[in-house]
A and B are shown apart, each in its own frame.
Chain A
């Protein structure tokens, strides 16, 4: 009898502990995720409107939607360039700071990490001014060193706008990944580097032969983090810095999804875009996982 009550008490405790989390998670995460899959098959315009089943028509429409295709291309560009450059800068800085034994290590770690805790809104506004055509740093800086002819409206020119946005995204994230890699490098046995020193390996050889292989598992995870980060952060950066302009050349898929839902009230279509993005980011995670899987190390 006594053990029975102990057991019920235990079960009751477990339930009480799990319930708040599970309720919130199911309501605000799981249910909406199922909804985007289901409602992507409906024509649904406006909150008062009754959703009408149309099968895969939303998905078929996307293939002919020029703006959607352009936004996918822009997003793809950012998802390719930003993670690669960010991770390279982060790796180089992390190995310099851990290997060179500079006294200022702590200082640089603090400074470089700082942008990753700033509000994206603040970052977007600051960078709008950095690129400002007349009063921005870039153009006035170029003028000061006598290179006026290089000055241009960086965010207003369709050839430079995506690169300008990519630099902002890299500025924001490089320090974050650097700190992760520094923690990883610190856990590599120093003997490996000492042995390499004795064998006469240069720092650069050590970077490619020891640091990168030893950090490989962390790098793989951060590639996926970074791809997903670009997807969501590009939404804020683009909507504040360019609004998708000039002429949609910086439209990303998330700003397009958002505009379809909340400007045009195309809820069904917006959710179908959500499904496509969701599937693509899952697929990218799988592909980059497979590509970076190592056989020989």
Chain B
């Protein structure tokens, strides 16, 4: 009797989960299907399959909507931001996590406070500052702003990793006459690799998807990133009603995210438990 109720119980749970999974997946599947539909098909019924694979939407997205150019900008900005972030965060986290000096506690607290300062409050003074220093409409400076935004969390995450590396390694390296910089590059960086990879994956999504800062600080069309390009396309398409190209554009933005997620899914969801928020 109890096994019967547990079987029905399990079926109910499975059904409950399945419905939710459909709610998550279906809009994305529909988006991929719509990217192959002709305009009239899109307008007709969102539940129907496309009559044939219509690649012209993708051609449109790359040629007239310039999704290819936006994508290159996004790639450049992701790489630059990642480089700046790692150069700033790894040495800071090492020093804050493993060396004793005055002001260490203060600087750690200082970064912690940064976790609470969101992007949109400070966008106005940031815009004015960047305007005065002629940093606007510049991919490098946008990247440094991105990197700075991720800095508090990154230092917090990496400091935890640094603390878990045994002290003996450094002492042994010291004995062998290895200097501080040598220790950092040759011993600590390789040992902290899991932490650095987790950080890189998280930041990839943040940088690739960022919208508000890119929309505000980049003015010329040739330097825009792909989320900004996409939202412009959305605004235009409402009048031009070339839905197909818009959906193709969405798929182009989604594809790298899906690929990275598929490859690194385990790292990402495990990283969340060691990412500090543990009771």
Contacts and interface: CB of A to CB of B under 8 A. Distances in A.
Interface in B126-148: 126-129, 131, 144-145, 147-148
Interface of A: 9-11, 13-14, 16-18, 20-22, 24-25, 27-33, 35-36, 39, 47, 93, 96-97, 100, 102, 104, 108-115, 117-122, 124-130, 134-137, 140-141, 144, 171, 175-176, 179-180, 183-184, 186-187, 214-218, 221-222, 228, 231-232, 235-236, 240, 254, 257-258, 261-262, 267, 270-271, 274, 277-278, 281-282, 285
Contacts of A25: 110-111, 114, 148, 151-152
B20 interface: yes
A135 B43 contact: yes
Given A108-B21, A179-B272, A257-B120, A144 B253 contact: no
Contact of A111 (B13, B25, B144, B211): B25
B58 to A, nearest CB: 16
Interface string B243-274: 00010001001100100010001001100110
Given A18-B95, A47-B128, A119-B208, A258 B147 contact: no
A270 B91 contact: no
Contacts, number: 242
A124 B234 CA distance: 10
15 contacts: A16-B91, A18-B92, A25-B148, A29-B117, A29-B152, A93-B20, A102-B13, A109-B269, A112-B20, A114-B261, A115-B24, A122-B254, A171-B24, A218-B278, A274-B124
Interface residues of B, number: 87
B169 interface: no
- Per DSSP, are chain B's interface residues mostly helix, strand or loop, or mixed? helix
A108 B17 contact: yes
A121 B230 contact: yes
A183 B278 contact: yes
Q: Which of B42, B209, B253 has the most CB of A within 10 A?
A: B209
Interface in B7-43: 10, 13-14, 16-17, 20-21, 23-28, 30-31, 42-43
B105 interface: no
Contacts of A16: 91
B148 A183 contact: no
Contacts of A35: 122, 125, 128-129
Contact of B278 (A120, A187, A271, A282): A187
B180 A179 contact: no
B47 A274 contact: no
A212 B148 CA distance: 35
B33 to A, nearest CB: 12
A180 B277 contact: yes
Given A13-B180, A25-B111, A29-B114, A236 B212 contact: yes
B24 A121 contact: no
Contact of B231 (A39, A115, A121): A121
Contact of B209 (A109, A118, A187, A228): A118
Nearest to B235: A240
Nearest to B131: A47
B117 A10 contact: no
B166 interface: no
A254 B180 CA distance: 46
B88 A20 contact: yes
Nearest to B42: A135
Interface in B74-131: 84, 87-89, 91-92, 94-96, 99, 101, 107, 110-111, 114, 116-129, 131
Given A28-B126, A93-B20, A136 B234 contact: no
A14 B101 contact: yes
Given A18-B92, A114-B261, A121 B87 contact: no
A96 B234 CA distance: 38
B125 A144 contact: no
B181 to A, nearest CB: 7
